Amino acid sequence: MGANITFYNPDKSIAIAGEILELDEPNKLSFTWHVHYDPDAKKEEPSRVTYLLEQEKEATKLTVIHHNFPPDSVVYPNIIQGWIAILSNLKTLIETGSAMTIS
């Protein structure tokens, strides 16, 4: 483990930087999540994201766990809405073949 993981903004600047903590292909990916797009959030210690994939009959269940936020986190309130939008868009892409337009 220890490999870097990076999410970029449309302008190619770093939005999120992290380090892979655990990889159990194809079932689990866990990594740190350090926000770079906001100066206050960038001061905060990284949180942790875990994706779990589980077989459920003829389907695959995706569970996203995002935790390890400090009590006064500035990242946490934004994450709540962010994951809803990302997962809704993923569902739409899988079901229709096209992603939603996000403004």
Tell me the pairing of strands 14-24 and 28-35.
Answer: antiparallel
Residue 101 placed within a domain: no
Query: What is the reported pTM?
Result: 0.86
Q: What is the CA radius of gyration of the chain?
A: 15
How does pLDDT run across 16-59, given as a tens digit for each residue? 999 999 999 999 999 999 999 999 999 999 999 999 999 999 99
Q: In what order do the strands lie in the sheet with 28-35?
A: 4-8, 14-24, 28-35, 47-56, 59-67
Residue 78: inside a domain: no
Identify the domain containing residue 8 by its residue range. Answer: 4-71
The CATH code of the domain that includes 31 is 3.30.530.20
The token duo for 51 is: 């994706």
Q: How many C-beta neighbours within 10 Å does residue 16 have? A: 20
Residue 102: per-residue pLDDT: 66
* Average pLDDT score over residue span 55-72: 94
Is residue 83 domain-resident? no
- Is 85 a member of any domain? no
How many domains is the chain built from?
1
The answer to whether residue 14 sits within a structural domain is: yes
